[in-house]
A and B are shown apart, each in its own frame.
Chain A
Amino acid sequence: MGKTIAEKILSGHSGRDAHAGDIVVAEIDLAMVQDGTGPLTIQKLQGLGLEKVANPESTVLFIDHAAPSPRKELSNAHKILREFAQKTGVQLSEVGGGICHQILVESFVRPGDVVVGADSHTCTSGALGAFATGMGSTDVAIVIASGKTWFRVPETIKILINGELPYGVYAKDLILHIIGLIGADGATYKALEFTGETIQDMIMSERFTLCNMAVEAGAKTGLINSDEITRAFLKAQGREEDFRIVKSDEDASYERIIEIDASLLEPMVSLPHEVDNVKPVGEVEGTKVDQVFIGSCTNGRIEDLRVAAHILKGNRCYPGTRLLICPASRGVYLQVVKEGLLDTMIAAGAAILNTGCGPCVGVHQGILADGEVCLSTQNRNFKGRMGNPESFIYLCSPATAAASAIEGKITDPREYL
């Protein structure tokens, strides 16, 4: 019997013939924590009496969630990470570097790797054909100490997507549609494999958006076969030698197959307070927005910001509507500057935030007032997510976000493209 990507990678890393449902102990290629989860990981390692790290070269600490620090408690948390890095020789990504998941795909993850991170959106890296999943601080502590963890090999749901995405419809709209279809727990404990013509033609940036949100359907990871598009992406990062072919077998066994015709999709919006509360933009058009956020590990890449800038060019944000734009990494930020997009954004009235998670986590930069509405390109709209349980978050693509910032209300972006 053939194998899914998850079964292949976990077989290779556990030294046994692993199939869905098996419990295996796997070697881990890359482990990471961020400033919200890392201090607890370090505290746990100290509790183990183990400050020696199994693989310092492939252990990365990111300061991205509250970067730069807005208050002293978080400054002290950052200090714990910096001191641990100095003591053990693990990698540290400082303030200004950017969001962990973006830097992982730019500089660290290779197709075929097993990646664990103390951050739920670690599944983003699955777009490179890596088995990448989020875990808690203690699980990652044990990985840092021992280089291993246990997994239940997940069943895989194949999402077979054919047809061309219509103009103005993006991977974000596609993944919101899928989550609306299967629900916020539709893939719990499972892996999602995205495949089909639409995926074969999809650029890496959009593939990252898809896999990033696999966890919003409960999935352990989202996966895509590696191919020439993957190779070209790695080459552009100066690491073509990391490319490997990783693909599922033709006769692999799937828990179920969901077929989607991409050509029928429209721009989609997720409504408060659940990600799977998804509607076509037409059904919420006209909803007044107080703040628009373009950024995050879901949609803060150069391709996203190009779309936003294209729509914003020559326009101004609606009076009273705040627009926050946050490039996902230093590399993305530099490219934004190089391409002259910054001028367009600033002239349109946007506030540009330093790279990082920005307002998505509710810790700083753009916390909403009671009763306010934010339209965001991030991945979550749970009550309280952006720092105020009395506010309302809608999720959409960068195009919908930019068009809505100009109108001051939720707007179909196709009128602006």
Chain B
Amino acid sequence: MILRGKAHKFGDDISTDLIAPGRLFHLRTNLPELAKHVLEDADPNFAKKVKPGDLIVAGKNFGLGSSREHAAAIIKLAGVGGVLARSFARIFYRNAINVGLPALICDTSQIDQGDELQVDIEKGKIRNLTKEMVIETKPLPKVMLNILEDGGLIEHFKKHGKFKLD
């Protein structure tokens, strides 16, 4: 799986409250509407400026807090191709893969706002095309890669009837 897009840079500790605010709790059964507010409290213009395939690039502990899967779901619905972060909060990390949103742990310190990136999820290789440099990282665990390649956990389960660990 290869992703290509422009980087939107965020800092450390982007909580699920910043991604999918609690004050919009009533929109959780209307994800297309909720997606118009994605990351609103971290960057009020994000939903307007994000282009299909763009990548979120963040610091440590991205997605901390509430288990609300809606956070990962609306990032994907907004057209984001994937999330790169120095680390993820574990519930968000699983949720992202389960909804088919690529999420990769890597050193993001050399990536700046607007950099053009090409990401090989399987190999764990990020090419910064703007800076002409390569960032290597550990690929996803096999079970998560399998779920992601099937398009998410529901599709994975429909296809295999169980978890495919290797």
A136–B91 touching, CB < 8 Å: yes
A150–B143 touching, CB < 8 Å: yes
The residue that A65 contacts in the complex, of B25, B65, B153, B162, with Cβ under 8 A, is B25
Contact with A along B65-81 (1 / 0, CB 8 A): 11111101100000000
A136–B22 touching, CB < 8 Å: no
| Smallest beta-carbon distance B20→chain A, Å | 10
Decide yes or no: A77 and B28 within 8 Å by CB, A138-B69, A218-B61, A384-B23 being known contacts: yes
Assembly CA distance A303 to B28 (angstroms): 34
A361–B22 touching, CB < 8 Å: yes
Give the interface segment out of B11-19, B49-57, B113-121, B124-132: B11-19
A120–B66 touching, CB < 8 Å: yes
B27 within 8 A of A: yes
A332 within 8 A of B: no
B65–A120 touching, CB < 8 Å: yes
Which residues of chain A come closer than 8 Å to B29, judged between CB atoms? 39-40, 73, 76-77, 80
| Smallest beta-carbon distance A360→chain B, Å | 9
Assembly CA distance A27 to B61 (angstroms): 29
A118 within 8 A of B: yes
Contact with A along B29-67 (1 / 0, CB 8 A): 110000000000100000000000000000011001111
User: Which has the most chain A C-beta neighbours within 10 Å: B15, B21, B26, B152?
Assistant: B26
| Smallest beta-carbon distance B95→chain A, Å | 4
A25 within 8 A of B: yes
The residue that A361 contacts in the complex, of B25, B141, B157, with Cβ under 8 A, is B25
| Smallest beta-carbon distance B130→chain A, Å | 28
In the complex, the chain A residue whose C-beta lies closest to that of B95 is A136
A64 within 8 A of B: no
Decide yes or no: A389 and B90 within 8 Å by CB, A48-B157, A185-B61 being known contacts: no
In the complex, the chain A residue whose C-beta lies closest to that of B163 is A150
A141–B23 touching, CB < 8 Å: no
A188–B23 touching, CB < 8 Å: no
Decide yes or no: A135 and B94 within 8 Å by CB, A188-B61, A362-B21 being known contacts: yes
Which residues of chain A come closer than 8 Å to B89, judged between CB atoms? 185, 188, 218
| Smallest beta-carbon distance A337→chain B, Å | 30
A279 within 8 A of B: no
Which residues of chain A come closer than 8 Å to B153, judged between CB atoms? 138-139, 142
Assembly CA distance A136 to B63 (angstroms): 12
B67–A380 touching, CB < 8 Å: no
Assembly CA distance A142 to B153 (angstroms): 8
Decide yes or no: A380 and B65 within 8 Å by CB, A23-B165, A73-B30, A389-B21 being known contacts: yes
Assembly CA distance A384 to B40 (angstroms): 11
B91–A135 touching, CB < 8 Å: yes
In the complex, the chain B residue whose C-beta lies closest to that of A33 is B67
Which residues of chain B come closer than 8 Å to A387, judged between CB atoms? 22-23
A311 within 8 A of B: no
| Smallest beta-carbon distance B62→chain A, Å | 10
The residue that B17 contacts in the complex, of A40, A74, A384, with Cβ under 8 A, is A384
The residue that A137 contacts in the complex, of B15, B23, B30, B69, with Cβ under 8 A, is B69
B154 within 8 A of A: yes
Contact with B along A251-293 (1 / 0, CB 8 A): 0000000000000000000000010000000000000000000
Which residues of chain B come closer than 8 Å to A37, judged between CB atoms? 67-69
Which residues of chain B come closer than 8 Å to A36, judged between CB atoms? 25, 28, 66, 68
17 CB-based A-B contacts, threshold 8 Å: A74-B26, A80-B29, A117-B67, A120-B65, A120-B67, A135-B67, A135-B91, A138-B98, A138-B99, A138-B154, A141-B154, A152-B141, A185-B13, A218-B64, A218-B90, A384-B22, A385-B22
Q: Other CB < 8 Å A-B pairs besides A36-B66, A152-B141, A188-B89, 10 of them?
A: A25-B165, A37-B69, A44-B154, A48-B157, A77-B28, A135-B95, A136-B95, A150-B143, A383-B41, A384-B18
Instruction: Please provide the 5 A-B residue pairs with the shortest distance between their CB atoms, ordered closest to farther.
Output: A362-B22, A136-B69, A136-B95, A73-B26, A185-B61
